[in-house]
Amino acid sequence: MKGFPKWYMRRRSVALRLLKRNKPPRHGPDLDLSAYEVALPEGARLTDLSELPGEALSTVQNVGVRPDERYRSGTYLQYDGDVVYLALSSRAEPGLVVENLLEAVRKREWLRRFWFRACPITLDKFTAFVGAYETAGAFIWCRAGTRVEEPVQACLYMGKKGTVQVPHNIIILEPGSSLHVITGCAIAPSCVRSAHVACTEIYVGRGAELTWTMIHAWRPDTHVRPRTGAIVEEGGRLMLNYVLLSPVASIQFYPTVILLGRGASVGFRNLILGLGRSIIDAGSAAILNAEGARSEIMSRALVKDEADVRLRGRLWARKPSVRGHLECRALLLGEQAKAYAYPSLQADTREAELTHEAAIGRIAEEELFYLMSRGLTQDEAVALMSKGFLDTDIPGLPPSLRAEIKEIVSATVEHAL
């Protein structure tokens, strides 16, 4: 691989050795990665997002990507193994950088300090796979004091059947900066028997603020294994939002955030629509490793048909004067639908305050009858209550982006039900 520094090539060799150990994931079903061909770069490029095929264009819009790039500071679009489009808005702040990560590593030696630091390459076979076969990824960097008003949009699109897409993303916010990132992951209807294995590392500096929203829409035969790790320093704030809108063969994720500095905070919002025969293992974890750290984890799932959804959450208090709350709720909409909740609280100090709520159930008959008495059909009443269940506020988003996401979720739920 020409142009890569020696340290990068050494770490890639380490990843290949780790991959041979075939370390399974801690949670969720395993996956045989040898069944897929890695989607390699082919040199494809676009000069404008409107050049996407019509099918792809409509699909990416459903996961929050604006082809007109209005109200966006920058755009990153990966199509299979190619970064086909990269752009910064003319309105973007000078301290914002959006690049292909594998291009950035060729010219920024200091990136070695961040390579698989927040998300250890030894975690499991999937992180090792990314380290060995990563083909591209988004590098988003906010220099110190840069406050970006409009979100950066990133899209990971799959179009080639039988392949596995392998992106590695790194987001770095230096002290005093702020940014919103919206990532849409989508797939072509013809892209059968495919997989997506990714690693995202997030670094939030002292007093910096990041809101990262990820919207997924897959096929019923797609297997997805995203891995996410983050480190938040003193006074930093991180908000992670995840929205799953479509059936999927299986998906397993468990983003883990280390609150490393005094007063650091993280919030999670997971909104999941379990459809068909989807197997979904969704988790979030916060390690409160500094005094005054705060965390909130909220997961909600609508489970329909024969879907199997497992909601996990972990709060680990390692220092005094920390607080955390964990909420897992699932609403069953089918006789064969299954849901499980696994809340976990751990405190290494008596000066921690950790709480949790967990609930799994069905729509209350009296509420359903009330809506039907007001003139709604049963299907309309169920759809209305379901949209209300997932219509939770996502803090940290600008009003325009919050409205976009609510519209996407509402339209998808209405169509699915």
pLDDT tens track for 240-269:
999 998 999 999 999 999 999 999 999 999
Inform me whether the pLDDT recorded for 414 exceeds 70: no
pTM: 0.93
pLDDT tens track for 14-53:
999 999 999 999 999 999 999 999 999 999 999 999 899 8
Q: Compute the distance between CA of residue 142 and CA of residue 30 in angstroms, rounded to an integer.
A: 36
Q: Compute the distance between CA of residue 311 and CA of residue 72 in angstroms, rounded to an integer.
A: 32
The percent of the chain in helix, strand and coil, each rounded to the nearest 5, is 20, 40, 35
pLDDT at position 415: 58
Inform me whether the pLDDT recorded for 416 exceeds 60: no
pLDDT tens track for 99-124:
999 999 999 999 999 999 999 999 99
Higher pLDDT, 378 or 317: 317
pLDDT at position 413: 65
Q: Compute the distance between CA of residue 402 and CA of residue 55 in angstroms, rounded to an integer.
A: 25
Q: Compute the distance between CA of residue 94 and CA of residue 148 in angstroms, rounded to an integer.
A: 9
On the CB side of 330, how many CA atoms lie within 13 Å of its CA? 25
State percent of the chain over pLDDT 70.
89
> Angle, nearest 10°, between helix axes 6-20 and 125-133?
140
